[in-house]
Structure 1
Amino acid sequence: MRTMKKQFTLSIAAVLTASYLYTPNAIAEQNAQSKPLEVIVVTGRQAKNDLDIPSNIKVIDSSDIEASGATTLEDVLRGQSGIQVSDTNSGAVFSIRGFNGGQAANNTLILIDGRRLNNIDIAAPAISAIPLNRIERIEVLSGSAGVLYGDQAVGGVINIITKSPTDAGGSVYLAGGSFDSQEVRADYSNRINADWSYYLTANHQKSDSYRRHNASETGSILGRLQYENGDTRFFAESSYYDSDREYAGSLTKEQLKQDPRQSNSTTDYGHQISKVYRLGYSQAINKAWAFDSELNFNDSNTNGSSFGSSATNSRELLRFTPKLIANYKTDSGNLNLLFGSDLSLGKSEFIGGFTNGRSNTQKLVSLYTQATVPLTKELDYIVGGRYSDITDEIKDPNTFAQGADLDNDAHAVEFGLNYRPNTNNRLYVRAEDNFRFAKVDEQAYSNANGLKPQTGRSYEAGWDFSSQKQSLKISLYQLELEDEIVFDPSAEKPYPDARWNGANVNAEASKRLGFDADWNLQLFEKLNVGAEYHYIDSEFTEGTNKGKELPWIAKNTGRVFSTYDLTDSLQLFTEANYVGKRFLEGDNANTGEKLDSYALLNTAINYRKNNWLASLRLDNLLDKEYVSAGYSYGAFYPGEGRSWKLSLQYQF
């Protein structure tokens, strides 16, 4: 503990010293005399041009979403080749830089407007609560972000930025399609006076889904009141989310071949209700410094039946995230300082089923800092550090019958160089620590009487090129992990009458080497084309499985796409997504056969006239059969077959 605190203190001292030594001779004038930074991304916890952040960042804006014809956020993220998907037909989880389905929800951080959607237990974030009409853009940061975000920002961060309109206007959206799917959305905003405005949105969707006994129904409403006057901003927001879904269960290999749409369950389901309350306040302190903060509370309750056992899981999470931001203009460029804290108190309680009596109260305190210091007009360096302390008051009738207080801490430091020799090119290198803490479900189903934090380090180098007609992003990376938290089906049961074989363990060390390439070209005035390719060589680097591939991680994934304006009103979108061969999840020794590779073809036709937009989206056009989640003990979940959806939207 003391050593880690000391290391964190030293990292802060390094930031402050560098800034202090640089600032007195270099500061020419403060922000009031300079043009503001171009606001492109906020994944760096402050508004910056994406090329000023030494990371691989992709922005999917509202025009990209509209062109794709996608009708759900899941569909949008499935179409990105750098994001691997695992779906047990109960909601997809998304992995960046090489994690299987069981690890993805805890190693990929998902945010909405900077607020965490990840839970304090292993349940996946409920992204189906976010209708597309609310989304302004999606920022995907590939790579570790341990300093800025801490716990769970291991493989990457997906930050969903929502709209906050202030002027009068709105939209109405209707959609229907395969498997009796239906959706209705509406939103409206207006000004109360010069300073105050409000925004309201609601949606409802339902579908019988591809498989039998897999129907779903989701609804959400949100209201936001916001104030802006000069250097002062404030907002208050409340939202309600209700989701009901039937679970079809896994299939055997033979059942998958016979009929992938069949169900192995007639009673399992999940029903989740969530209420979220948010307060945000930001204030310029002077010409250089600003204060920003958010207080949010999430109250969630899930009940249902799984494997024939009924249970309820209630969660509460209170978070406070204050930060100080400084921006100075110097002779060599902008000097940016960031000091922040993430404070949270979470509670999780399980009632009924085989987890009956399990509970956890989690307290997390984190401090972090980061500085971007210009050395010349072309070259910046970035340095930062974070220290996190977490306490779990955990109880489980089988493994922690008397209760236990588990206290862990972790730290992260980063260093990067960002070089922009001209307006078209950017080169960067970066090294950053990452970590994640075990969740209550993982701790309670382990043999270790308390799992250690997972730790690691990421190294990355990249080149970005952009011109009026094309852009190219290339990055090379290495991700090394120690004490990786995984479920090992060959491990000893946590207790004799445990429901499943295996246990959660701190596994052998692992390494991921990768290459990312993303290219986009405006070939003709009316034709845009693009291609993405992602390669991951992942393996265990210690223990009995040393040299073996990490399961459920495809070495090769890719995507090609095009958007063609047939007329001023009519647009055609086409994409093909490829996923290479991979071992089944749990096959750490690589003893089984790999799943076959597959490619999915999707297309959309969009027609816009005045304030109207009509779209026809066709997914899996060739009706390719594939496995969306598969496990070495013989459980398979089929991917969705051919489907279509027709939508109509009116904006006013």
Structure 2
Amino acid sequence: MKKQIYIVISLSFAMTHFACADNSQESAHYTLPTIVIHYNKQGTQAHTSDLKATNPIAVELFPSYGNQSIDNMLKQNAWVETRISSGANPTYYLKGQRATVLLNGMSLNQFNSQAQNTSLVPANSIETIDINPTASSVLYGSMGLGGTIAIKQKFIDYNQYLIGMSTSYPLGGGVNLFVNQLLDQQKTWAFQLITNTESLDNYRDYSRNNNNNIDFTLLHQTNTQQLRFNFSDSYQYLHFPGGLSQLESDQDPWQASSSGRQKYINHTINSQLGLTQKINQEFIFNLQSQYQQQWANVIFANPGYGSSKQNSSLFYLRPSITYQNNWLKNITGSEFNYQTFKQSSTISDSRQTNVAIFNQADLKLNLKWQTGVGGRYEHSYTQGDLILSASHGSQIINIGAGELYLQYNWATSFNTRASISYAYQLPFIDQSNLTPGLTSNFGLDPQTAWIYQIDNQYKNNKLELKNSTYWMLINNQIAYNGNDPSSSFGANINFPPTQTIGNLFSLDYRWSQMLSSGGSFVLNLNTFRFGTFSHANNIKTDISNNTVPGQSPFSAEIHGNWHLMPDLTLWLQQQYFSAQYADGDYSNTLAKQSGYFLTNLGAKYQINQWQFNLSIYNLFNKFYYSYVATADFKRLSYYPANGITAMLNIQYTFS
């Protein structure tokens, strides 16, 4: 399968205030450290106290959403790394590993290695986004190595209607609409309609990105029951010329080649059903179900490649029972999903069935100590047909995950958690182009890791600190090798054994009611423990102790938030990304992509029912490369990112 890389230029910015529950009496609060981003302080959360395990402190996210995708907000935090973008859907990484993106507890990225479908998220109705770097394979299975980005919708118990319009520089604009309509006098049923239409042009790479999203949500909430039904329809059309060669970059690095055009068209529908039923004071039943269908078409700049069409589908079912008292929280559940994938250039038909059972138990020993243990077993069966080799393959994977942790609460404001986890990532069925016809397996081997991690969190009325230190011993790390000799387009491969030593840190401090500041950084050293790499000429090179390419070993950001007056707020952020080896340079012999700084600015002005949001990205028009790859040995491809870009959004709210 030829790997295609797409760029989505960031046009909106957000300050990531971090808040986490501070309730020492709460039973088994074991997800530490979790960054909780609260979109909106408005609206009471009616009838939810009996169902919530924690009560996060409400901190307003700045700038407000406006007409922007949540993709652009997430990557402003140093903990979250975005690499490849497919249309409006980049992939997200925590600790250098792909993160599980959840919408209302259900994964958005179970069958597609190129995208995580965050464009399906109804952003105007988001309550929180929890960024949790602890291993999550026990509860969520595949892609649990890095952690989770959990997005949760909110229930609004009053009628609200919002319409907004936006314009951008260099060229673009759109319209966004949000409707929250109560359906009964008891305020237990609500209907939400969310739409977003946006068109963006970028002058450096001559790209145009058109996005259209619509979401219908039905919500029901009482003291004993929560019901949520979503239906989302998303359409993206990306038009751009493709990457620059080294020669083109040397001649004119500010513009992409005009010799050809590439198009990426993606249409996705997603439906979700979530039910939470309180059986009695201690037992809660949860049922989650999802159906997703996706169609995509890539039209290459090189006419000899033609186009590559693909479609995929997913059915997902997850029942579970939660038992909770003052000292114990236990979650027992099972998962079933069936997914299909076809691609015109590689896979004529593939199918995968996954069945899993899991259990997570968390025990509060006393006011100071708590512990937990979890386990998961999953059976995966894949079969399919490949076009190029005219072969049929199948693969059975039986795999497990586990976690053991111990947490000590030094005080109500400070706690430490030490954990040992065994986590995994199953290969996607669209990554199965290497081994069929050569072995009995259809796809790649699953990626597994032992993860040793220590998390610390401190929070008082003014200061919040979070730190996570980890050591990961990884086997069969899944990646793309553009130089693989088995194909002129390269192939997906399993790496030799690797290890990652890293540290995550975040700080936020409120100096006064008018001023707050903070920052976050990531140190992530990913190296090969041992092994060799075969170049296109079949010459093997020892890559022991080499750096795994394609990611910055260090990234950081600092930000400040000034309330100049009750109605006017300013936000400023400085980002830094260190130098990195080009993606595919496993021998570490090519020139590095140099490090760079970016400055971002935002402003919000509220007057009565009007709100004005201004975001400016790359304020000083810094030239940089957001992505570098080796198209073949000692040849680099550059994707130039945007210069200065700005977005102005004007919203009017009425109820």
Superposition TM-score tier, normalisation by shorter sequence: 0.7 to 0.9
Partner of 1:61: 38
Structure 1 Cα separation of the partners of residues 33 and 626 of structure 2: 26
Partner of 1:7: none
Structure 2 Cα separation of the partners of residues 269 and 507 of structure 1: 31
Query: Could you give the per-residue CA deviations for residues 499-519 of structure 1, whole angstroms, max 9, x where no partner exists?
Result: 32x433222110110112111
Which amino acid is the alignment partner of residue 82 of structure 1?
W
**For the Cα contact (< 8 Å) 1:463–1:474, is it kept in 2?**
yes
Give the match's secondary structure for 2:139.
helix
Match of 2:579 among 575, 578, 581: 581
Partner of 1:443: 432
Query: Could you give the per-residue CA deviations for residues 192-226 of structure 1, whole angstroms, max 9, x where no partner exists?
Result: 21243211111111112344542111111111223
Gaps of 5+ in 1: 1-39, 43-47, 100-106
Matched, 1:296 2:290: yes
**For the Cα contact (< 8 Å) 1:88–1:637, is it kept in 2?**
no
Query: Could you give the per-residue CA deviations for residues 229-254 of structure 1, whole angstroms, max 9, x where no partner exists?
Result: 44133233222111111132000234
Aligned pair count reads 588
Structure 1 Cα separation of the partners of residues 497 and 413 of structure 2: 39
Match of 1:311 among 308, 313, 316: 308
Pairwise mapping of residues 194-593 of structure 1 onto structure 2 (< 5 A)?
A: 194=186, 195-257=188-250, 258-264=252-258, 266-306=260-300, 307-308=302-303, 309-329=306-326, 334-351=327-344, 354-355=345-346, 357-399=347-389, 401-446=390-435, 449=439, 450=441, 451-493=444-486, 498-500=487-489, 502-543=490-531, 544-593=542-591
Give the match's secondary structure for 2:265.
strand
Task: Provide TM-score, normalisation by structure 1.
Answer: 0.86
Displacement after TM superposition at 1:550 (Å): 1.0
Displacement after TM superposition at 1:74 (Å): 1.9
Which amino acid is the alignment partner of residue 57 of structure 1?
T
Which amino acid is the alignment partner of residue 255 of structure 1?
E
Partner of 2:135: 144
Larger mean CA deviation between 138-147 and 69-78 belongs to: 69-78
**For the Cα contact (< 8 Å) 2:237–2:265, is it kept in 1?**
yes
Match of 2:82 among 60, 85, 90: 85
Give the match's secondary structure for 1:547.
coil
Gaps of 5+ in 2: 1-18, 41-59, 532-541
Structure 2 Cα separation of the partners of residues 279 and 57 of structure 1: 25
Match of 2:642 among 640, 643, 646: 640
Structure 2 Cα separation of the partners of residues 69 and 236 of structure 1: 23
Query: Could you give the per-residue CA deviations for residues 134-166 of structure 1, whole angstroms, max 9, x where no partner exists?
Result: 322211111321111111122121112223324
Change (3 A) 1:253 1:436: same
Runs of 4+ with deviation above 6 angstroms: 48-51
Structure 2 Cα separation of the partners of residues 639 and 131 of structure 1: 27
Structure 2 Cα separation of the partners of residues 265 and 114 of structure 1: 45
Partner of 2:615: 617
Which amino acid is the alignment partner of residue 641 of structure 2?
G
Partner of 1:631: 629
Change (3 A) 1:210 1:339: farther
Q: Which structure carries more helix by proportion? A: 1
**For the Cα contact (< 8 Å) 1:118–1:124, is it kept in 2?**
yes
Query: Could you give the per-residue CA deviations for residues 450-487 of structure 1, whole angstroms, max 9, x where no partner exists?
Result: 32211111111122111101111122111110122222
Query: Could you give the per-residue CA deviations for residues 34-78 of structure 1, whole angstroms, max 9, x where no partner exists?
Result: xxxxxx889xxxxx9799224331112215543377732122112
Give the match's secondary structure for 1:358.
strand
**For the Cα contact (< 8 Å) 1:275–1:300, is it kept in 2?**
yes
Structure 2 Cα separation of the partners of residues 462 and 364 of structure 1: 32
Change (3 A) 1:344 1:518: same
**For the Cα contact (< 8 Å) 2:28–2:370, is it kept in 1?**
no
**For the Cα contact (< 8 Å) 1:249–1:263, is it kept in 2?**
yes
**For the Cα contact (< 8 Å) 2:91–2:114, is it kept in 1?**
no
Which amino acid is the alignment partner of residue 597 of structure 1?
G
Give the match's secondary structure for 1:75.
helix
Give the match's secondary structure for 1:481.
strand
**For the Cα contact (< 8 Å) 1:81–1:533, is it kept in 2?**
yes
Change (3 A) 1:265 1:214: farther
Which amino acid is the alignment partner of residue 514 of structure 1?
G
Structure 1 Cα separation of the partners of residues 512 and 457 of structure 2: 22
